[in-house]
Amino acid sequence: MNKLLRKYGTQPIFYQFFRKMKLTILIVTVSILSCFSAETYSQTTKLTITENNSTLLNVLRTIEAQSEFKFFYNEKVDVNKQVSVEVTQKSITEILDKVLSSTSVKYKVLGRQIALYDKNEMEPFISEQQQGKKITGKVTDQSGAPIPGAAIVVKGTTIGITSDSDGNFALSLPSEAKVIVFSFIGMKSQEIDITGKTSVNIIMEVDAIGIEEVVAVGYGVQKKANLTGAVATVNSKELVAVTSPDFSNALSGKLPGLRVQTLGSEPGVYDNQIDIRGWGSMLVVVDGIPRWDFQRIDPSTIDNVSILKDASAAVYGVKAANGVMLITTKKGKAGNNEITLNSSFGFEQMTDYPRAIPNSIDNLILKNEAALVAGNPLPFPDYKKYTGEDPNYPSVDYWKLTVRDKMPMSKNDVSFSGGTEKITYYISLGNLHQTGIYKTNSMNYDRNNFRANLSAEIVKGLTANVIFGGMMDKRDDPYGGSSYDFMKQVWMQPPYEPVYANNTSPYYYDGQADRNPVAIINSDLTGSRQYQMKKFETTMSLAYDVPFITGLKVKGLFAYDVQYNIGTEWRKAYNEYKYDVTAKNYIPTGINNPTQLRKSFDEYMISQYQVSLEYKKSFAGGQHNIESLLLVDRRNTFGDGFGAQRYFSLDAISQIDAGLTDNQVTWGSNKILDGNMALVGRLNYNYRSKYLTELSFRYDGSSLFPAESRWGFFPAISLGWRISEEPFIKDNFSSISNLKLRMSHGVMGDDSGAGGFQYISGYNYPSDNYIFDGKTLTSGSSSKGLANPNITWYTATTSNIGVDGNLWEGLLDFTVELFQRKREGLLSTRAATLPSEFGASFPQENLNSDLSQGFEFVVGHSNKINEFSYNIRTNLSFTQQKWLHYEQSSAGNSYLNWTNVNENRLQNMIWGYGAAGQFQTQDEINTSPVQNANGHAALFPGDVKYVDWNEDGMIDSHDRYPIAHNEIPQTFFGAEMSGGWKGLSLSLLFQGATGYSQTPTEQLMGPLPWGRNSLTIFLDRWHHQDPLDFNTPWVPGKYPISRDGFGFGPNKETSTYWVVDATYVRLKSIELAYVLPVNWAKRIKAKQVRVYTNAFNLLTWKSKGVLFDPEHRGTGDGGDNGYKYPVMASYNLGLSITF
Amino acid sequence: MKQRFKYICSLLVITTLSWTSCTKFLDKQPVNVLTETSILSDKAAFTTHMAYLYNQIPFENFSKWIWLSYYTDEMVNCRQDAGTSEEFSFNSWGSSYTLIRALNNMIEKVPSATAFTTEKEKTEALAELKFIRAYVYFTLVQRYGGVPLITEVSPLPASGDPAELYKARDKASDVFKFIETEMESAINGMSSETSVYRFNKWSGLAYKSQAMLYAASIAKYEEVQLNGVIGIPNSEANHYFGVARDAAKLLIETGPFALYSQDADKVKNYHNLFFDKSNTNKERILVDAFVFPIKANRFDLFTAPFSHRGGEGYGGRFDPTYDMAESYEYTNNANGAIKLNNPDGTPIRYANPADLFKDKDPRFLASAIFPGSPWMGTTLQIYGNVIEGGVLIGGNGADGLSQPEGTATGFYLTKWADPAPPRPIAYSSSDVDKMMMRYAEVLLNYAEAQLELGNEPEARKYINMIRERAGLPAFVNPVTMNDYRHERKIELAYEGNRYWDLKRWRIFDDVIYNTDTYALWPIYDKDNNAYIFTKAKLPSDKYTRTFTSKLYYSRLDGGIIASNPLLVENPGY
């Protein structure tokens, strides 16, 4: 505030600018072109001010502190004049009329900007009658949306105008005019050289300083300038390239500290690993209510996303230990009635994914070679005949037969938004369609989203908000195989086996693989699996500005969410065949017989209410500012579900009631009963936005714990100091626009992982079972174990130190955060203390503790050179975790103690052998330490050579040591770049991670699993020059010689041979967009037409040796032995029209 | 100002009240938890707890027992390295004591329970619980030797010091004494109904004979070690043989049981014995029942010949060894050696490979299939090489031997495999029952006890009952202990008994010591459309097994001793 007052107080640009504009123009602009959201602000904003015997300056400060208004004036205005004012819920004009009535000061309102001038001066009207040339153009934001109400002023003069509702302007220029200045609140001012130009289109950029920006924080919003916590935020303008089905993909690499890893891109599975600072799954709050499935939200309905990374999350108490993500959806704006249509079409393509050998001869050479290695006769001496030309000697490329190259996808949505002063609305409908990799087109995903955000002022001061959202999706798969099964089979299916027995369709050949991969993706043959989710979210709230207490607001909120998950698994019986040549008949093998339907129905419900009191006040002319909140929050979660299974005698009708009652099965599932209650308080105080403090607490109760240990108190404190507001900086370093130091410290909790009702004794029912009569099952009831009266949540104490800076007006801005989180009381079972013969174990206790430390930084740069504006922001976050206490019994000996003990040790390490490459010669094998229990006998050149780490002459488990970080990256980084030139804009997002590894397994570590097919990578192996003549010389290769089965055991030990660093950098997204010139758009009566093309995962640079896409987990947690659906790149073309 | 203050206060009060008024809201009740009160007062609820207890009994049923045969000379797994037994451990200590705690709890509380309408019901329930407890202790003493006898539910020590709970291992003889007396009194209290699905008087007697025979063998064949924690004094052998004999005798004389012989075809009869779920199957004494689909097993899946396996793969997991096949007699020759070669040493060419096993013990033919056996409408093609044009080349019979999941030994186990599965073979498609205890074992137990006590004629009589039912000639001459053991091995083959028999007779390390496994390796002579057979040694790195003497008892793993320092580790570990 001071900064602006100072700046424009001494440089009367605005003052002069307003002088020239006729009041009538202003009024006309406001009333006719009601799309001026900025203009309505002055009418809809009601303020309550009490300033007795104060100065005009103090009154102005108070108004600025309470609102988004900014005042501009020059030295002729006497701001130290004594004034008094006491108003309640009055508009700005009413207030100013009253305040200024006793002075010689007059004012003009333009949007949120108010100019004050002395009545003896000329009014700050902009003259329409200037001589000389004229310049026209359009002001838009980076997404191409028009900006109405932007100020366009000739530099060094008083001449200026504002843009109209379409962002257009036409300004008459004095002949000497060379540069015009564009400015708009929250955007960076731009100076444009207009020499020789008659039109100029300008793209305004969000002000990187962003200190006027408002950021969502727990239970409210806060000005970024006053923020003291570690909060990262991204708004809809920055969420370009959001055609990805998974909303979290749009956040990847954008928010420092938010870590997103795509494990697989199976449609409808939402297989992203997401956390904040590596802390585990976070609480996600959508429009004020904790909700799940946020990845399914239609990204185009998101207004902004904040993540709370430190004690600022403490107001969420017992669920907040892993940080909080706040998602706010779009709201309507008064007057701005708009319809937006958005369509994009594209396709997905697999990133790196290993393939199986596509031809028989290569496969059979490996098989024969493996037989020779084992000392057996060749199983396929006639392998050379398998060229595929003779039907008796097939060679089938199963991958090509089943997997398509390009998977189409499309996304369409329409939104309506706008409103009047009393009622605003935002309504959106969206559809997404995605297809899977099968050539049979049997894997499909459809999602429909809708959202209606309505707000109405019922009576003066009383506002009602209703948010109604829905997500309905449907995922279809063939029954024959999940993607896991399919990947496994298509890798394993030997190419020398035909697709059809006797090469006759549809007699699918019954081969060695568990299933014929061509058959399993045929849902007409094998049936289908369908998973539907229907979710409805309702939030209703009433807010009341208490009339005679200035700044007091009462709010009540009620939310009710329901979700249904409906699973339908239709398993059709079918046959695979062998052909008996002599009898000339097909011999069937029945699969999935009898036909069966499994139907499951799960229901979830969350109800939540909140009652809150908010109080806001500024004292002493805005020098002391207080905001406070007291809130009661109650939440109830309920889940129930059941399923049923029947067999069918015919497969024409897939309805459960058409099934046979014999052998039917039912089951229950998903019993959830969970409640939380809390009292939340927060107090913010700042002195002139220079010294900032925030205190908060949450007194929280969780039904997971017994009454005695149910309640917890979670306090937090944070402090901020805007050094740049101090005179010694302001006066000496004009290049420092913003410099803020802040720190926070707070306690949060987590009740997850405390399985329900541990404090109650009793018997779980049903659990286990027995047949007492030879026919029917009697469900069992087993003791829940010792009751656990002491169990409670664990606590996480988070400390954060941050610095925000902005230099040279945005040429350089940065944020650095240092953090640590100490968790204490993590649930664990006391180690080896109760004798086993006691027959029961200690219940879980809050025993373990760990420490996570790390840092983040963001460096940004934005600039504009002529009409080219650009913006670069890079971020990096690093986290490391170690155990402080890990409850475990001591192992039998010192080596085991050393290897097994977790205490004071980094988490996420992999123990394994060091591999010194591969043996090169038999001599090398013979002279090396004994490699395994079989000695040297079974080894060949090319086999993995392990390091005798403890130098005892043999390789055994004692030679293991920490060889790598596991599949969870320590460091994530991202770099966003965007540039705009006229209507064109380009944005790129690079994203990467390091400090982790990928480990292959099963088929990735050995060729010929179950003697079937092999991956092509294994062709690059140690072999003899003539692979089937072991007397010929060796030819080195990347992998050991072919062996039957899953490879040779000793080669497959976890070692540095297999565990590879998975560091990568990828062009996560790129989007090129063009906003059509306005006159073109007008032809279809549109305000704006934007065409764009974007791509995800277009380019990847990764470490050598990483077999998969680097985000895929390989064998690690969530990697499914490598059979996980591949990660996709996608390419889209889109069109967005706003009317 | 005062007005405002009041206003604020009242709002604060309302807000706070809305909070305090409903903290009870957090007192949730689980929807799937039964209270102990209802278990003790409601018969149906009590039965659910019994179902849990039965579920937890460490029976060697279809999920556990069959693996024991991998460690003996009976069979191997085509996909799994033969166990050296070195690392093999039951790890049943903790789970057994969890079960014992639950049993102790019920034994304590059933006397005052109100779930029963008659005193008889209550007595029977109590006796059944006690019998289960005695049986669990028997499984423990089999595995570990003497264990701490815990018969009461102890609470957590008030002091928080677990040392108060430490208890040393009781002597093996004391544990067996406990089992003897507990079983004795439980049998008196248990129902004499003939349900074969839970313990009653009859199954009680059968198991008593098993447990007491075990004690007697330990006493007779094993040294006392660790001050009696392992081993029973030799002097007690005859006592236990006597108790075993009497229990078996009482069952034989008063029980409603008989050897199954409903089919004149001895092969069919022996095979059907395991499939006949009807009450006319009087061989059944205790059965772990399976009912498709609510509780099914994967027996058919694991045993299926390669060409018959279902869509889910597997098969060939239970492969009887060559030696086991030779152990079975011929009906006309007590020497079961397989005839591979002519007297001149040249291989016999079998036009019909099944002829190799002509006149074999019907129990073999009912338990195993081999090259040339008919199976589910086909003739099994098991061979590992082919002679073509006089040259030996690699070969791959549709059912083995070089198939990746075909038999490793040339044999597939069919003892519980259904030759006409009622449904396609799948992971859970088989519902053959597992007979935990059958009449034949009781007869053998009786015979063994009599033989050990020197009453050979009585023993021979019962051994011959088994042989006759099987279709083998009766012993005419006095039987030796070896004759008996051989008969027991054959009759109860693959049922899990042999593992324990080898242990209690202390001959495991004689039978399995660096022992190679052999396969029947057929070669298909394409030129003559005939088979020749060889005896092939399976790769020693996978299939050569050994048994060291420490393995007679399982290790008390680190955690068990660490949690109770008074425990002593078994010898050799």
Tens of pLDDT along A924-979? 988 888 887 666 667 889 999 999 988 888 888 888 888 998 888 999 999 999 88
Residues of B with Cβ-Cβ distance to A890 under 8 angstroms: 562
Tens of pLDDT, residues A806-850: 888 778 999 999 999 999 998 888 765 788 899 888 888 888 999
Closest of A706, A640, A635, A759 to residue B31, by C-alpha: A640
Q: Are strands A324-329 and A302-308 parallel, antiparallel or unpaired?
A: antiparallel
Which chain A residue shows the shortest CA-CA distance from B403? Answer: A1011
Measure the CA–CA gap between B126 and B105, rounded to whole angstroms. 11
Does residue B66 have a pLDDT over 80?
Answer: no
Q: Does residue A3 carry a pLDDT above 60?
A: no
Q: Residue A241: its pLDDT value, please?
A: 59
Alpha carbon distance B207, B217 (integer Å): 15
C-alpha gyration radius of chain A: 34
Q: Which chain B residues are within 8 Å of A381, Cβ to Cβ?
A: 393-394
Query: Residues A637, A562: contact at Cβ < 8 Å?
Result: no
Looking at the partner chain, which of B8, B51, B289 has a beta carbon nearest the beta carbon of A780? B51
For B28, the closest of A631, A675, A679 (CB atoms) is A675
Averaged pLDDT, B226-232:
95
Tell me what the mean pLDDT of segment B64-85 comes to: 74
Between chains, do A777 and B291 touch, taking CB under 8 Å as contact?
Answer: yes
Q: Which residues contact B377 (CB under 8 A, 6 or more apart)?
A: none
- Burial, A826: exposed, middle or buried (Cβ in 10 Å; 0-12, 13-18, 19+)? buried
Under 8 Å between Cβ of A854 and A802: no
Q: CA A329, CA A139: separation in Å to the nearest integer? A: 25
Count the helices and strands in chain A (H runs, E runs): 16, 59
Residue A829, CA atoms < 13 Å, CB-side half-sphere: 10
Average pLDDT, chain A: 84
Which tokens in the block code for residue A242?
Answer: 């959001």
Q: Which CA distances in Å does B462 have to A281, A598, B269, B457, B479?
A: 68, 52, 19, 9, 11
Residues of A in contact with B25 (CB under 8 A): 634, 636, 675, 677
Q: Average pLDDT, stretch A129-158? A: 73
- Closest partner CB to B564 (pick from A546, A636, A836): A836
More confident: B562 or B338? B338
CA of A1008: which chain B residue's CA is closest? Answer: B404
Contact at CB, A671 and B424, closer than 8 angstroms: no
CA distance A1123 to A491: 9
Q: Poorest-confidence range of A26-40, A864-878, A1075-1089, B359-373?
A: A26-40
* Nearest residue in chain B measured CA to CA from A701: B26
- Which whole number is the average pLDDT over B200-214? 97
* pLDDT classification of A1116: cutoffs 50, 70, 90: low
- CA A546/CA A557 separation, integer angstroms: 17
Please report where in the chains the tokens 């408002």 appear, as a residue: A214
> Closest to B295 (Cβ–Cβ): which among A771, A840, A1012?
A771
Residues of B in Cβ contact (< 8 Å) with A554 = 11
For residue A1076, how many other CB atoms are within 10 A of its CB?
18
Least CA distance to B563: which residue of chain A?
A: A835
Binary contact (A774, B97; C-beta < 8 A): no
Helices (H), B333-433: 362-367
The answer to whether the CB atoms of A840 and B101 lie below 8 A apart is yes
How confident is the model over B418-473, as pLDDT tens digits? 888 888 788 888 999 999 999 999 999 999 999 999 999 999 999 999 999 999 99
Question: Is A673 close to B28, i.e. CB distance below 8 A?
Answer: yes
What b/e readout covers A340-354, taking b as 16+ CB neighbours within 10 angstroms?
A: bebbbbbbbbbbebb
Using a CB-CB cut-off of 8 Å, the residues of chain A touching B196 are 774
Chain centroid to CA A581: 58
Long-range contacts of B271-277 (CB under 8 A, 24+ apart): B271/B366, B271/B367, B271/B414, B271/B415, B273/B438, B274/B415, B274/B416, B274/B432, B274/B433, B274/B435, B275/B418, B275/B432, B277/A774, B277/B433
Chain B residues with CB-CB distance to A775 below 8 A: 289, 291
Facing B55 at nearest CB: one of A515, A770, A775:
A770
> Which pLDDT score is estimated for A621?
72
- Dihedral angle of Cα B442, B443, B446, B447, to the nearest 10 degrees: -140
Helix (H, G, I), strand (E, B) or coil at A13: helix
Q: Do A634 and B22 touch (CB under 8 A)?
A: yes
Chain B neighbors of A762, CB-CB under 8 A: 30, 33-36
> Nearest residue of B to residue A676 by CA position?
B26
**A1053-1067, A1125-1139, B131-145, B555-569: segment of lowest average pLDDT:** B555-569
Q: Give the pLDDT confidence score for residue A12 in this predicted structure.
A: 37
In tens, the pLDDT along A144-179 reads 777 777 778 777 666 777 777 778 888 877 777 788
Of B22, B26, B93, the CB nearest to A836: B93
The chain B residue lying nearest A554, using CA atoms, is B11
Indicate the length of chain A as a whole number: 1139
pLDDT of residue A1119: 65
Q: Dihedral sign for Cα B447, B448, B453, B459, please.
A: positive
Q: Is the pLDDT of residue A869 over 90?
A: no
B376: pLDDT strictly greater than 90: no
For an interface test with B, the pick among A771, A901, A1010, A1043 (most B C-beta atoms closer than 10 Å) comes out as: A771
Query: Of A144, A126, A133, A148, whose CA–CA distance to A38 is shortest?
Result: A148
Please write the tens of the pLDDT for every residue from A885-924: 888 876 667 777 777 788 888 888 888 999 999 999 988 9
CA distance B431 to B165: 43
Chain B residues with CB inside 8 Å of A515's CB? Answer: 311
* Interchain contact, B32 vs A765, CB within 8 Å: yes
Nearest to B289 among A636, A768, A771 (CB): A771
**How far apart are the CA of A830 and the nearest CA of chain B, in angstroms?**
11
The 3-state DSSP class for residue B534 equals strand
Determine the distance in angstroms separating the CA of A786 from the nearest CA of chain B, rounded to an integer.
Answer: 9
A764:B48 CB<8 A: no
Q: What is the mean pLDDT of residues B31-50?
A: 93
Hey, are the CB atoms on B50 and A763 less than 8 Å from each other?
A: no
Question: What does the alpha-carbon distance between residue A875 and residue A873 come to, in Å, rounded to a whole number?
Answer: 7
- Cβ of A764 and B7 within 8 Å? no
pLDDT range class, residue A35, cuts 50, 70, 90: very low
CB contact under 8 A, A780 and B97: no
